[in-house]
Amino acid sequence: MNGIIDLSLLQVAAAYIFIVILMVILKVKGIAREKEVLIASIRMTLQLILVGYVLVYLFESMNPFLTILVLLIMESFAIYNIFQRANRPLNKALKQVVALSMLLGTLSSLLFFLFVVIQISPWYDPQYFIPIAGMLIGNSMTGISLGINRLLDGMTEQKYRVESALMLGASPKQAAKEVVDSAFDSAILPTINSMMGMGIVFLPGMMTGQILSGVSPVTAIAYQIAIMLGILGSVSLTVIIFVQLGSQSFFNERDQLKTD
């Protein structure tokens, strides 16, 4: 097995030719996206460089408090990002449900993965803790973002159907079941679709990175399978907590649909 090929600054800079090509295409086609592409490329570069140096420091320090601090920052940013992605204003109750769902779903999945699947020692080893936490939190954030928009749209567009079910004697859970099921399906479908094409249509980023760094493909595959199952579990658990609790926030204590 050959060792890793180190990339020089010149080699990395050569990859930016793809950005140049894209900018030229946008200019020729008259698509006004050059500014967004340029800003995204610059932000991506600066953010990854910063994260690289931060991770080097964390790996060397092996400090549990710093690892937990990074975890809390990732969770906070993910929750804030969900608030920003919502296509309708969120009330206080729904924001609390989002935060609770993210914390319960991702942390329980992360702890199970670290202690049962990987069995790392010490438990706060940032080399494993932070990348795995990032993948679980990031995918769960995407799942809830999709689920919350479908839930908000469904409860708004099907308001009269839900009210009719309540008047006929249905409980809030029964009245909102169709909307909740649709929101859950919308949230987990991207993860399932990704798993369906994995290995044949494309090689996942983590697995590709491990192989390029010299890790045996068999070892990389084992990690990728475990990670994808962990992601599926985290997304499913996070979203099911959200849609169940979130749907109930649309009803008052008398089981009536709130007017707001």
Q: DSSP 3-state assignment of 4?
A: coil
pLDDT of 76 strictly over 70: yes
pLDDT of residue 251: 78
- Mean pLDDT lowest for which of 93-97, 129-133, 155-159, 230-234? 155-159
Residue with the larger pLDDT of the pair 1 and 86 = 86
pLDDT of 73 strictly over 90: yes
In contact, 148 and 88? CB cutoff 8 Å: no
Q: Which residues are bridge partners to 257 per DSSP?
A: 251
Query: pLDDT-derived band of residue 258, with 50, 70 and 90 as boundaries?
Result: low
pLDDT of residue 259: 64
Phi, psi of 201 (to 5 degrees): -80, -40
In contact, 93 and 79? CB cutoff 8 Å: no
pLDDT of residue 257: 66
What share of residues in the chain are helix, strand, coil (percent, to 5)? 80, 0, 20
Nearest to 15 by CA among 35, 39, 44: 44
- Mean pLDDT lowest for which of 115-119, 138-142, 157-161? 157-161
Q: Rg of the chain over CA atoms, in angstroms?
A: 22
Helices 159-167 and 126-157 pack at an angle, to 10 degrees, of 80
Paired tokens of 79? 């929750």
In contact, 110 and 227? CB cutoff 8 Å: no
d(CA 234, CA 108) in angstroms, rounded, equals 8
pLDDT of 1 strictly over 80: no
pLDDT of residue 248: 83
pLDDT of residue 230: 92
Paired tokens of 81? 């990002």
Which amino acid makes up residue 53?
A: Y
d(CA 243, CA 180) in angstroms, rounded, equals 6
Mean pLDDT of 211-229: 83
Residue 71, C-beta contacts closer than 8 angstroms, at least 6 positions apart: 129, 130, 133
Query: pLDDT-derived band of residue 88, with 50, 70 and 90 as boundaries?
Result: confident
Number of alpha carbons in the 13 Å side-chain half-sphere of residue 225: 7
Label residues 164-173 b or e (16+ Cβ within 10 Å = b).
Answer: ebbeeeeebe
Residue with the larger pLDDT of the pair 150 and 202 = 150
Mean pLDDT of 189-218: 79
Please give the helix or strand (H or E) that residue 97 lies within, else none: helix 92-112
Please give the helix or strand (H or E) that residue 205 lies within, else none: helix 205-212
Query: pLDDT-derived band of residue 162, with 50, 70 and 90 as boundaries?
Result: confident
